[in-house]
C-alpha cells in the first residue's frame, strides 16, 4: 500500500520553485525533481502546472531563462533567480514561516476533555 | 499591478522575439522535459517505448500547457492583436457608413435638382396657358425671389410663383401676351439647356446658378414698357433697355453696365418674335469693329455663362 501524496498548498508553487532555484540555475525537469527529493517524495509538482508558472514568473521578472545543455547532454531551458526573484523568495518565506508556525501552534494545542469555552 | 497582470501585461519590456520563435521555444521546452523524463525511466530499466509513453502520461495535456504558456508569453501581443482587429472592424464600419451617407447625399442632391427642374417645367406649363399675368405682379414676385438665398427657398418661391400665376390666370386680369410668351420661351430654355448645365457644375454652385438664372429670366419680364429690349444673363444689370431705331446690340449691353467676368461673349443669343434664336459672336464684333446688329422692339438678349 502506497501513501497518498497530499496536494500542494495553494499559492506555494511559486515559493517552492523560487526556493529550488536559490541553489543555482535549473531546467524545469530538475526543478520538479528537486522539490520532490527535498520533500522526501511527499510533494510532487504537477508538470502541467510547473511550466505555465515558470513562464509567468519569467514575465514578472523574478527569474531569467536561457537555453543550455543538461547533465545528459539534452538541450534544455534553464531558469535562474533575478534580484527581484530573490527578494520575492525572502518575502514569501517569511510569510510562510509565520503561517506555518501559527498553524503548528493551533494544531499542537492540547485541550482538557470536557472543558467548556469562556 | 494586479489589474495589469490580469490583462496579461507584466512589468517587463516586450519580448523581442517573433511570435513563431516564442511558440517554437515553448514546444521545444515541453519536448525537452518529456525526453529527460524518458531518459530517467530508461535508466531505471524501463523499455524506451514504454518509457516514452509513461513520460507523456506523466506530463499530462501537453497542448493545454502549451496554450497556457503561449497566453502568458504573448499576452500583450495577443491583446494588441485583438484591439487592432476591433479597431479595423470599427474603421470598416465607419467607412461603410460614410460611403452610404455620401451615396445618399448625392442621390438626395440629384433628387432635389430633379424636383426643381420639374417645378420649373410646371411653371413653364402654367405660363404657357396663361394670358393674364401683369408685369407689376411678376416684378413683385421676382423681387421676392431676389431676397432668397438658398436653393430650398428658391424652390419654395418658384412653387409660389406657379400658384400665383394660376391665380392670375383664373382672375382674368388684363392680357400681357407678349411678356407671357417671352417668359414661356425663356423658361423653356432654362429648363432644357441652362438648368442641366448648372446641375452639371455641382451642388453648391448649382444652387446659386439656378437662382441666378431664375432671377435673370424674371428680371427680363418685369419691365412695364413694351417698347424696350430685354437683356438678361451674365450682364451687370439685367433688365429692360429703352428701344429706339438706332439701338444696337453693343449699345444695349453697354446700357446694362457691360458683361460679367464669366460671360460667354461668343454665343450671345437674340430671341426675336417666335423665330429660332440668332447666335452672335460679340467678341468678334468688338475686336473687328464690324457686324454690330441693330435691335428690334421686344428683342430678348441672352448672355450665357462661359463653361470652362
DSSP assigned state of B265 = G
A9 Cβ contact list (under 8 Å, min separation 6): none
Indicate whether B66 pLDDT > 60: yes
CA–CA separation, B32 and B20 (whole Å): 18
Of A29, A46, A56, the CB nearest to B36: A29
Q: What is the separation of C-alpha A70 from the centre of its chain, rounded to a whole number of angstroms?
A: 22
Each residue's pLDDT tens digit, B5-58: 555 444 455 567 788 889 999 999 999 999 999 999 999 999 999 999 999 998
Length of chain B: 308
Q: What is the mean pLDDT of residues A19-48?
A: 91
Each residue's pLDDT tens digit, A48-67: 889 999 999 999 999 999 99
Candidates B306, B304, B280, B303; CA nearest to B291 is B280
- Computed over every residue of chain B, the mean pLDDT equals 71
CA–CA separation, B179 and B223 (whole Å): 9
Contact B221, B135 (CB under 8 A): yes
Residues 7-66 of A with CB under 8 A from B: 27-29, 46-48, 51-52, 55-56, 59-61
Beta-carbon count within 10 A of B138 CB: 24
Contact A92, A34 (CB under 8 A): no
pLDDT of residue A5: 56
Candidates B227, B216, B208, B215; CA nearest to B269 is B216
Higher pLDDT, A84 or B150: A84
φ, ψ for residue B222, nearest 5 deg: -100, 10
CA–CA separation, B169 and B165 (whole Å): 6
First to last CA, chain A: 45
CA–CA separation, A60 and B245 (whole Å): 103
The SS3 assignment for A1 reads: coil
Indicate whether B205 pLDDT > 50: no
pLDDT-derived band at B259 (thresholds 50, 70, 90) equals confident
For residue B60, the chain A residues in CB contact (below 8 A) are 46-48
CA–CA separation, A103 and B244 (whole Å): 125
ipTM entry: 0.84
**Cβ contact B37–A51 (<8 Å):** no
CA torsion through residues A28, A33, A38, A43, sign? positive
Candidates B251, B235, B256; CA nearest to B292 is B251
B72–chain A nearest CA distance, Å: 6
pLDDT-derived band at B63 (thresholds 50, 70, 90) equals very high
pLDDT-derived band at A24 (thresholds 50, 70, 90) equals very high
- SS3 string of B222-251? CCCCCCEEEEEECECCCEEEECCCCCEHHH
B82–chain A nearest CA distance, Å: 20
Cell readout for B256 is 446694362
For strands B300-303 and B228-233, give the pairing.
parallel
pLDDT of residue B192: 45
H/E stretch holding A79 reads strand A75-81
For residue B65, the chain A residues in CB contact (below 8 A) are 47-48, 51-52
**Cβ contact B35–A47 (<8 Å):** no
Amino acid at each position: 500500500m502506497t501513501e497518498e501524496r497530499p496536494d500542494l498548498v495553494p499559492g506555494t508553487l511559486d515559493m517552492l520553485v523560487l526556493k529550488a532555484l536559490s541553489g543555482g540555475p535549473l531546467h524545469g525537469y530538475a526543478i520538479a525533481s528537486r522539490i520532490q527529493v527535498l520533500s522526501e517524495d511527499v510533494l510532487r509538482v504537477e508538470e502541467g502546472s510547473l511550466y505555465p508558472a515558470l513562464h509567468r514568473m519569467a514575465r514578472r521578472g523574478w527569474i531569467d531563462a536561457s537555453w543550455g545543455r543538461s547533465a545528459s547532454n539534452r538541450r534544455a531551458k534553464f531558469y535562474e533567480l533575478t534580484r527581484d526573484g530573490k527578494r520575492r523568495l525572502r518575502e514569501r518565506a517569511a510569510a510562510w514561516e509565520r503561517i506555518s508556525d501559527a498553524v503548528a501552534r493551533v494544531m499542537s494545542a492540547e485541550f482538557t476533555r470536557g472543558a467548556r469555552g469562556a | 499591478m494586479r489589474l495589469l497582470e490580469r490583462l496579461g501585461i507584466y512589468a517587463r519590456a516586450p519580448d523581442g522575439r517573433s511570435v513563431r520563435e516564442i511558440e517554437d521555444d515553448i514546444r521545444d521546452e515541453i519536448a525537452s522535459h518529456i525526453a529527460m523524463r524518458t531518459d530517467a525511466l530508461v535508466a531505471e530499466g524501463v523499455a524506451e517505448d514504454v518509457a516514452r509513453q509513461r513520460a507523456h502520461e506523466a506530463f499530462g495535456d501537453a497542448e493545454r500547457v502549451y496554450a497556457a504558456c503561449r497566453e502568458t508569453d504573448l499576452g500583450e501581443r495577443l491583446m494588441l492583436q485583438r484591439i487592432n482587429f476591433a479597431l479595423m472592424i470599427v474603421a470598416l464600419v465607419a467607412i461603410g457608413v460614410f460611403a452610404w451617407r455620401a451615396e445618399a447625399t448625392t442621390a438626395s442632391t440629384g433628387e432635389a435638382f430633379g424636383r426643381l427642374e420639374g417645378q420649373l417645367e410646371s411653371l413653364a406649363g402654367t405660363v404657357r396657358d396663361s394670358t393674364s399675368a401683369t408685369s407689376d405682379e411678376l416684378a413683385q414676385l421676382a423681387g421676392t425671389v431676389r431676397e432668397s438665398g438658398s436653393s430650398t427657398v428658391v424652390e419654395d418661391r418658384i412653387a409660389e410663383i406657379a400658384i400665383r400665376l394660376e391665380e392670375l390666370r383664373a382672375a382674368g386680369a388684363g392680357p400681357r401676351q407678349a411678356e407671357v410668351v417671352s417668359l414661356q420661351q425663356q423658361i423653356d430654355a432654362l429648363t432644357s439647356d441652362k438648368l442641366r448645365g448648372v446641375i452639371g457644375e455641382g451642388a453648391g454652385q448649382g444652387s446659386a446658378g439656378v437662382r441666378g438664372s431664375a432671377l435673370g429670366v424674371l428680371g427680363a419680364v418685369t419691365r412695364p414698357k413694351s417698347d424696350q429690349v430685354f437683356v438678361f444673363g451674365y450682364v451687370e444689370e439685367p433688365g429692360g433697355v429703352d428701344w429706339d431705331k438706332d439701338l444696337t446690340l453693343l449699345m444695349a449691353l453697354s446700357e446694362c453696365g457691360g458683361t460679367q467676368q464669366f460671360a460667354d461673349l461668343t454665343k450671345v443669343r437674340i430671341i426675336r418674335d417666335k423665330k429660332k434664336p440668332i447666335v452672335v459672336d460679340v467678341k468678334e464684333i468688338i475686336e473687328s469693329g464690324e457686324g454690330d446688329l441693330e435691335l428690334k422692339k421686344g428683342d430678348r438678349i441672352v448672355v450665357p455663362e462661359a463653361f470652362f
